[in-house]
Amino acid sequence: MASARRLGWLLAALASLIAPGADATGWVSTPLENGWRFRLSPQDHSAVEHAQAAAWHPAKVPGHVHTDLLTNRLIPDPYAGAPEAGLQWIGLARWEYETRFDVDAATLRRARVDLVFEGLDTFAEVGLNGEKLLSADNSHRTWRIPVQGKLKARGNELRVVFDSPIRRLLPQVQAMPHKLAGNYPSPYGDEPKDAMTANFARKPGYHYGWDWGPRYVTAGLWRPVRLESWEGLRIADFHIRQHKVGADAAELTAELEIESEQAAVTAIRIAYANPDGKTAKTSKERKALQRGLNRISIPIRIAHPQRWYPAGYGKQALYRFSVEAEGQGGDRAQSSLRTGLRSVELRRDKDERGRGFAFVINGIPVFAKGANAIPFDAFPARVTQAQLRRVLESARDANMNMIRNWGGGYYESDAFFELADELGLMVWQDFMFGGGMQPGYDPDFRANVRAEARDQLRRLRNHPSIVLWCGNNEEETAWKDWGNGKKLDEVDPAFAAKVWAGYEQLFGRDLREVVAQEGGGVPYWSSSPSNDLDGPSNDTDNGDKHYWAVWAGSEPVENYLSETPRFMSEYGLQAWPEMSTIRSFAGADDLRIDSPVIRAHQKFLAGDGNQRLLHYIRAEYGEPRDFEDFVYLSRTLQAEGIELAALHHRASRPWTMGSLYWQLNDVWPGASWSSIDYYGRWKPLHFHARRFYADLAVAALRRDGETEVTLVSDRTGTVRGELRLRVLGFDGTTYRDERKPATLAPSSATRIAAYRDADLLGNADPRSTAAVFELLVDGRPVSRRIVYFGAAKTLVYPSAAVKQEWQKTASGHRLRLTATQGLVRALWMDFGNLDAEVSDNAFDLLPGETVSLTVSSPASFDELQRGLSLRWLNNHPR
């Protein structure tokens, strides 16, 4: 009977993926998501002007005050048109939320009952049945409050009141003789430009506005609320610490925190299932627990483990571990988790010029290919798992292996990291500090941050995808390189010294210590960019680099080839999304570069973003014909420019060991640096990324009249193939066609040739000729790079044409495109308002070349044919 009981427990535990702390026996979790209502506090200064909002209305939890106002038709859509200025009163107001709930008799009898808030944004007073329970001050923390003895069977009243973070903090900021540097001053007058409060609030920084998103200083119960109750035992934390993971064995420890209501000897069973789910092993130990919190460690050894690898390097093997604690009186508690076994190292080799920066996974130096991720919505509670999956699968499909979770947002949901684990996407995880300077000199502020960090590390540390914890985004470089530190030192050197000492304490010691204690062996890095507080902060020869001389500094795109860092963690070019996305927020009369709606969705305020785009467009392509042409050219510019930079980084291996462009996704529909827009639609950049991040790539990079050709391989074995060079006239004339053998060493960049323009062109006209470099493996082209001999606007293109051939197939539709009259450059296919996905897009067609594509869409065959429009550079003369 006992063995049958153990088998039943084991099968149930391994069949489920209960989050750490969850349990199917002695622990009950009751969501408190129903029956919520909200209102603008009647005593608030804005209640007279917004009287409708001061009445009670239904609310959604998890949610935000902006989305609740929108649902109740009290405000317009914050994303459509240009309503932003008129909605800033919301962030200055005091908001009240409440619900009523009943509690069953079994819960009332339990010895322990906790009220748990996974996210309160941000300054919140919590009361239950008229009794104050909590004053919260950190959006990024989990709040657990014992409420046994405070509940009743019927009509419990839970009330949460949110203060405006601006109004709460502004008096203390204004009282400072000298202010700390902030990020983006509000253009709307809701707070003074010389007294910004965001640095002092533990709240998502982007809510105060950024150069790719709106300013909506929201509030609310933005993550789940629940009651947890139990008898006797509760597993408060379950972690699999990985001491040493190799091909022969994985040396692990199951680390448990168990709350016990009494001192007792407890049986603890550990089980795990292999990634294939076919085998399971168990162990049992008896431990003497004291009343209160107990920390238990149980060693585990797995012979010949199946290891977790980043995408492109092996399988994403994931083990399932379960634990059961059973007391002498029959009390039981369970928990279960999923993790991957892998070793992770941030390698900092020294050389004659500095120190490198490379991620080493399972002993393999991995060139990091990817992008920076920002929040997926201004209001994160409405981000769906389908939305996350679409973007992260798109990252994997573009041959990315790393995502940097940028520090101005929030710590992503469990679903995000579960997807990253499954897809093999390494995660560089910033702590949530996005820029400016924090009051690290304040011990209470640091204690709050340490608690936040401990909460998040414990929640996320079992995810094998996380390979780095980084203290902040751009705070060190802002202090050292942007003049923030110098300006403060000039007016108050004592305070400047205090501010910097606080910074070093918080990011150099406090967070480093918490990561060492709780991070499960994942390395820590104090800031991005930095050399981990060792000398200059944004140094080409040391650590990671943010490079914004191109775009922010208006330098030419070709200057990407002049910057060769150890690890490029930010660089980017802006572009508009496609026209169907623009039409989601703008009417026909708004489709002008200078219209109020278009300007409202262009957030680059350090300079006029559209004028900056025009500067780059005019330099390479000439004058746009109209707004749609401006949009198309911005997207072409972005794709071709980032491709140049990324291939340069890859060709510079092993000096450079990472390339993360800014940015992957969007927070709302508008102009930004993303390669995937708010609705999940790929921009041309993302199609290019799939090619320039491929495991085999040819990097043919032209500068100053010379083209260097480097063959890049991320494969762990030797690859043999051919390099094919063709010099072609735009009309199809072949001037040169030759092949030579090529050997690509494992995980390498091999410089194979260099050509002066005269060597390639001979007597051909550079204005109408291209050099085509292709890497062939087993006789098939696996990568291609076309080199042009001048800015696009200086070239002489033929009047090309593209032939379309449609065919119905069992799985969808097939489209064949042929360049019938010469070169077709930067071809883009668009289906208007139809929901359609094409297997490839944003490419050049050589003269006479045919490509065969699949088109997936719920639209009919006839609708797709009618809806397709093609645009390319040389069919729209400027």
Positions annotated as catalytic residues are 474, 570
State the Cα–Cα distance between residues 456 and 438, nearest whole angstrom: 19
Q: Give residue for tokens 């640096």.
A: 673
Instruction: Please say whether the beta carbons of 712 and 697 come within 8 A.
Output: yes
Sheet holding 131-137, edge to edge: 57-58, 37-40, 95-101, 156-163, 123-128, 131-137
| Interstrand relation of 220-221 and 131-137 (parallel, antiparallel or unpaired) | unpaired
Instruction: Please say whether the beta carbons of 657 and 566 come within 8 A.
Output: yes
User: Is the previous residue joined to 384 through a cis bond, with omega within 30 degrees of 0?
Assistant: no
Residue type, 682: W
Instruction: State the maximum Cα–Cα separation within the chain, in Å, rounded to a whole number.
Output: 93
CA dihedral angle for residue 15, residue 18, residue 19, residue 20, rounded to 10 degrees: -90
State the Cα–Cα distance between residues 305 and 303, nearest whole angstrom: 6
HSE of 286, CA atoms in CB hemisphere, 13 A: 4
State the Cα–Cα distance between residues 408 and 427, nearest whole angstrom: 16
Structure tokens belonging to residue 825? 């450059």
Element (DSSP H or E) covering residue 479: helix 475-481
Which SS3 state, helix, strand or coil, does residue 544 take? coil
User: Is the previous residue joined to 122 through a cis bond, with omega within 30 degrees of 0?
Assistant: yes
Instruction: Please say whether the beta carbons of 723 and 739 come within 8 A.
Output: yes
Which SS3 state, helix, strand or coil, does residue 323 take? strand
Backbone angles phi, psi at 449, to 5 degrees: -65, -40
| Interstrand relation of 120-121 and 112-117 (parallel, antiparallel or unpaired) | unpaired
State the Cα–Cα distance between residues 684 and 642, nearest whole angstrom: 11
Instruction: Please say whether the beta carbons of 427 and 418 come within 8 A.
Output: no
Q: Among 358, 335, 356, which residue's Cα sits nearest to residue 345?
A: 358
Instruction: Please say whether the beta carbons of 69 and 53 come within 8 A.
Output: yes
Structure tokens belonging to residue 181? 């540097």
- Angle, helix 484-491 to helix 493-503, in steps of 10 degrees: 140
Other Cβ atoms closer than 10 A to 454: 16
Q: Among 203, 60, 59, which residue's Cα sits nearest to residue 120?
A: 203
Instruction: Let me know if 392 is exposed, middle or buried by CB neighbors in 10 A (0-12, 13-18, 19+).
Output: buried
Which SS3 state, helix, strand or coil, does residue 71 take? helix
Sheet holding 706-713, edge to edge: 696-703, 706-713, 748-756
State the Cα–Cα distance between residues 833 and 350, nearest whole angstrom: 54
Sheet holding 319-326, edge to edge: 280-289, 264-273, 319-326, 332-339
Backbone angles phi, psi at 686, to 5 degrees: -70, -35
Q: Among 797, 758, 789, 794, which residue's Cα sits nearest to residue 771?
A: 789
